[in-house]
Structure formats: structure tokens, C-alpha cells
Structure 1
Amino acid sequence: MTDRDPLVPALTGVLVDVAWWLESCGDEEVDPDSAVKAMESVGGALLRLPSGQRERLVQVLADLAAAEEDPVQRDFLKSFPFAIGLVEDEDS
């Protein structure tokens, strides 16, 4: 897999879309405890990636945020690495 593999941004986008959905859906759509467990599982899996892959993921998220036209979705993309535990500073 190369650095230009389109699969990486595509899968990253899908992952963020699922996280967005889990955060924004109502209690009647998804049990809140189940949503939290799912997000903890996602965060745990991402934190187990080797550091180079985590750094690549953070860069892909930044690239997706820069290309996003919807300001709400752009803010979510920018905050995702901090919210999921990939970076310690929200401004990273």
C-alpha cells in the first residue's frame, strides 16, 4: 500500500461518518451505552496502530477536514483525533 492509496482516505471517511452518526443519533436510535462502547472499541483499535500509521491517520483526517465544505462536519473532522485519543492537544 502506498501513501497515495485511495483506500486510506475512503476508509477514514467511513470511520468518521460512523462516529458522527453514533454521536448525533438519538437514544431511540441507538442505546447510549452501546454507542459509547462502540466508540471506545474504535478508539482502542486506533490507539493500537503503530505510531507511523496513527500519524498517517491524523494527516488524512486533517486533509479531509481541509477539503470539507460543511463547517460542522469540518469541525468534527478536526476534533476527531483529540476526541478519540490520537493526539493529546486538540489543536494538533
Structure 2
Amino acid sequence: MNCEPLVRAIAAGMMFLEESGDDEVDPDSAERALENMSHVLLQYAGPDRDEFLELIERVADSTPDEHDARFIRDIPRAIGMVES
């Protein structure tokens, strides 16, 4: 199964919530949604976590927009999956 579209969808949702203005998405709701997404992603452990991290890098490497690529690469750090 090709999971890259799933990672792209997760990243797009997170980017939307993170970068939307207060007039687009209630900030408290955006924060709750991001926390819920992070909680679910942090359930990955062992080889699954390693595979997710590799997939994040692959997706970021194939993303032409540098801003989007940086955002995708930063997801594991932003959710607390890896340290800076």
C-alpha cells in the first residue's frame, strides 16, 4: 500500500489548522484538532514509527514547495515524536 497520499493528507490538514487565521478556524478548535492528530500519530512505536519517519522524509523530499516541505519535515518534532 502506498501511504504517501495519507501522509500528504495529514500534513495538509495540520498545515491548514496551523496556518489558518482566527477568522477561518477558531484557534481553540484548531489547537484541539492538532493535539488529537498528534496523540494518534504518537501511537506509532518501534518499526512502525521508523517507517512513518522515513515516509515523512520521502514525502518532504518530493514536495516541490519549500515551505510545505519544511512543514512536513517538522511534523515529527512538532508533535513530540522526535527531539530537535
TM-score scaled by length of structure 1: 0.85
Q: Is the 8 A contact 1:58 1:86 kept in 2?
A: no
What is the Cα-based RMSD across aligned positions, in Å?
1.0
Residue 5 of structure 2: SS of its match in structure 1? Answer: helix
Taking structure 2 as the reference length, the TM-score comes to: 0.92
Tell me the residue number matched to 1:36: 31
Identity across matched positions, percent:
31
Task: State the alpha-carbon separation in 2 of the partners of residues 79 and 49 from structure 1.
Answer: 17
1:58 shift after superposition: 0.9
Indicate the SS of the match to 1:82. helix
Q: Give 1:51's match in structure 2, choosing from 23, 37, 46.
A: 46
> What letter corresponds to residue 55 of structure 1 in structure 2?
D
Q: Which residue does the alignment assign to 1:77? A: 72
Runs (5+) with no aligned partner, structure 1:
none
> How many residues are matched?
84
Q: For the residues of structure 2 that align with 1:48 and 1:69, how far apart are their CA atoms? A: 29
In structure 2, stretches of 5+ residues that fail to align are none
Q: How many angstroms does 1:63 deviate by?
A: 0.3
Instruction: Give CA deviations for 1:36-78 in whole Å, capped at 9, x if unaligned.
Output: 1111111111111232212111111100111111111111111
Hey, what's the Cα distance between the residues in 2 that align with 1:28 and 1:52?
40
- Check whether the contact 1:65–1:75 (CA below 8 A) recurs between aligned residues: yes
